[in-house]
A and B are shown apart, each in its own frame.
Chain A
Amino acid sequence: MKHLLSTRDLSATSALRLLDVAEEMSAVGEREIKKLPALRGRTVVNLFFEDSTRTRISFEAAAKRLSADVINFAVKGSSVSKGESLKDTAQTLEAMSADAVVIRHPASGAPARLAASDWIDAAVINAGDGTHEHPTQALLDAFTLRRHWARIGGTPSAGTTLAGMKVLIVGDVLHSRVARSNVWLLTTLGAEVLLAGPPTLLPVGIASWPCTVFYDLDEAIAQRPDAVMMLRLQAERMNAAFFPSTREYSRRWGFDDGRLALLDIMGLDDTVIMHPGPMNRGLEISAAAADSPRSTILAQVRNGVSVRMAALYLLLSGDQHDDEPRDDGTRALPHDLPIPEGRTTR
């Protein structure tokens, strides 16, 4: 594994390995000294072209717990606001010899562009690109679900898959990179994925996704899911009228107190409620649901650090990339050689 760009091309073996490593990393978070020397002297750059609190902090905590040096690069106050291109930014980071770049970008495919280009040698981790994917969020959701599933089954988490688990994802699937990454990853791990949302907020071509689609939330809950994942209503990406009013959305698609009570009435004692955050309380999820014992929202944040430590460790340790002599000899070129005029791509 050289980059982590998408969960679609992640095999079950690599996904399970990452979750198993994350399981060991989570033990470090409970120690008095929450630090491991594994990535000492390596540099991780957080390159965020879009606002984020928990993802950036989570990556920063993960890198620091592995003793890596962290450079935070927020677009506001950087040369990007003066019009610097992704390429020039990447080459600047390369000149500073970054070992890993964690990138969040409003354009789908920006991390893949960075990884496929020869602008930079570093491992690229996608921390959310446009409406495409957010693989580490899906991995931490899978990690949280797996711990829950293993606890119910009375087995150790390590090595367990999600086989037999039914996960319902509700809301704005159209704009949600979290939903996309989760659909691919959870099905790879053996779970059955159900989607529910208003037709205007479901993407074109959803029929080809490996999941069942519902246009009524209560009908979907009647399928007795083991977990309900509420998606954030992404008002900042909504430049069209997707539904008549937020009150109507909340009534039809929100996880409100009535639906919370419904889970108890249906005897679904082991069903958990998830949310990737940040929440719009009272809109897609009620305060009672978000703060109920069923809610895994804080566990998800905690597990995010462990999963991101595992991703950084697996990408940055080992000899399969950095020290590998290359056939084409590109490694032999000093990095700070000027690129000849008129030569944009090699």
Chain B
Amino acid sequence: MTMPAPESGITKRVVLAAADMDRALTRIAHEILEANKGSADLILLGIPRRGFPLAQRLARKIAAVDDAVDPDLITGQLDVTMYRDDLRRNPTRSPQATQLPPSGIDDRVVVLVDDVLYSGRTIRAALDALADLGRPRIVRLAVLVDRGHRELPIRADHVGKNLPTSSRERVRVHLGEIDGLDGVAADEVVIEDRA
């Protein structure tokens, strides 16, 4: 018997707690280093909003392993708003800032970082946005959660957790940097279902 919250009619369950999320990110950081055979030419670009703090966390974990890495110099933010294919279907979105590391992305290994991989359309937009900014040698994709339901031929190279979901459900990622209230960390991944 399901127990929907009486007022909202929405059930919530936590699928990744703070410690699970941290372990998943540690593993992804090591996978990135392994796939790249070290930290050479590595750039992590987060997709706003929650991809950017995730990219920063991954960069700090990489720096903890490799002393030669300065996390601030390999992290950036890539806004994809103006490249989306659904601009006319959804309410107007405000673009966010795009900030590239000082080295630029030409001939670098760029790892795109996002919180949830779903239809793949955001990543399609990100690839177009990247092409207008430079020509990376390799582009890889790291996501915290892959929830399936792809609509484009796109696959992540590094996945924190595969979550089989129904398309009726919503996957919400809460991060201390963005969702934390009064300095209380709120790291978790929640699945909401409208019952």
Contacts and interface: CB of A to CB of B under 8 A. Distances in A.
Interface of A: 17, 20-21, 24-25, 27, 31, 33, 35-38, 66, 158, 313-314, 317-320, 322-323
A322 B88 contact: yes
B83 A37 contact: yes
Interface in B75-91: 79, 81-83, 87-91
B92 interface: yes
Contacts of A31: 132-133
Given A35-B132, A37-B83, A319 B95 contact: no
B97 interface: yes
B83 A36 contact: yes
A18 to B, nearest CB: 10
B94 A37 contact: no
A58 to B, nearest CB: 19
Contact of A20 (B90, B92, B94): B94
Contacts of B95: 21, 24-25, 313
A310 to B, nearest CB: 9
Contacts of A24: 79, 94-98
Contacts of A35: 132
A317 B98 CA distance: 20
Contacts of B91: 318-320
Nearest to A28: B82
A29 to B, nearest CB: 13
A189 B2 CA distance: 51
A320 B93 CA distance: 12
A313 B94 CA distance: 9
B97 A27 contact: yes
B128 interface: yes
A124 B43 CA distance: 43
Nearest to B132: A33
